[in-house]
Every structure is written in C-alpha cells, then in structure tokens.
C-alpha cells in the first residue's frame, strides 16, 4: 500500500483525461497506474504494528467513552426535565462532581428546598469543587 498525495493524482489526471471529470473507476485506474509506473517515487505505508493497533484501540475506546458520557448526560437532563426541572435552572453542567453530589444529597424538590447554604457548601467541598466554591450555594438557595 502506498501513500499518494491527492495533488499528484489531480496533476496526473489532467493530461490523461479529456473532460477532467472524476469518477471512482477512473481514479482507481489512475492510482494503480501511478504506483505501477512510479513506484520508486512514492513511499509505502508502514504495516500495522502491535503498538499501532493498541493506539487505535485506545483511541476508539476513548471516543466511545466520550459518546457514552454525552448520551448519559442527555438522558439525565431529560429525566431532570420531567421530574426535577428546578435542578436544570440551578446547574449549568450536569456532569460536574458538585452537581452530582448535590443531587445525591437532595434528589427531589422538597429536600432541595430544605438545604441550607452550609449544607450546599459542604456537599460542594466534599465533591472537591475547585472553581469558585461560593457561587453555587447562592444560586441554589433562592
């Protein structure tokens, strides 16, 4: 297998095609002709190694986890919209640790209404909130 620059294929297409139109069959034929005639001018693609396969597996797994996380956050947002819409107005990001800690502490509107600022701050601190720990309690206690 050889890596061929698309511009090389376009330049090769110009003198050999009267209309300049592109088609898959014609492009496949041109690519085969380029490799047959000028094999020494093109570099072969390295064969897959174990490390390359491992990197592909890790990259695919990472992408799958990102998609799964987004899917779960959307399901969570949908459930909150139906059962606890006040939580959607109180929290910006539903996948932050402090949001999950507060919703664990107060999973419904009645318990959330009884939360004091100190309990909200304690739950945020327990969730290791690093950015502006005093912003969330004022927004929730209204």
3-state helix/strand/coil string of 101-128: HHHHHCCCHHHHHCCCHHHHHHHHHHCC
| Together in a domain, 118 and 73 | yes
| Together in a domain, 110 and 54 | yes
| Together in a domain, 54 and 37 | no
Query: Residue 83 belongs to what domain range?
Result: 50-140
| Together in a domain, 58 and 124 | yes
pLDDT tens, 8-23? 777 777 766 666 667 7
Provide the residue-wise pLDDT of the chain in tens; the chain has 142 residues. Answer: 777 778 877 777 776 666 666 777 877 888 888 888 877 777 777 777 888 788 889 999 999 999 999 999 999 889 888 888 888 887 777 877 778 888 888 777 788 778 888 887 887 777 765 554 444 544 554 4
Residue closest to 92 by CA, chosen among 47, 65, 129: 129
């Amino acid at each position: 297998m050889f890596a061929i620059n698309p511009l090389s294929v376009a330049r090769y297409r110009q003198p050999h095609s009267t209309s300049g139109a592109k088609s898959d069959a014609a492009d496949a034929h041109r690519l085969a002709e380029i490799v047959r005639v000028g094999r020494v001018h093109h570099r072969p693609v390295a064969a897959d190694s174990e490390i390359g396969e491992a990197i592909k597996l890790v990259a695919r797994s990472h992408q799958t986890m990102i998609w799964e996380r987004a899917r779960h956050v959307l399901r969570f947002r949908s459930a909150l919209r139906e059962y606890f819409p006040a939580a959607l107005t109180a929290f910006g990001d539903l996948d932050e640790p402090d949001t999950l800690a507060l919703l664990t502490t107060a999973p419904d509107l009645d318990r959330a209404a009884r939360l004091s600022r100190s309990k909200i701050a304690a739950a945020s601190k327990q969730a290791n909130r690093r950015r502006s720990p005093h912003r969330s309690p004022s927004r929730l206690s209204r």
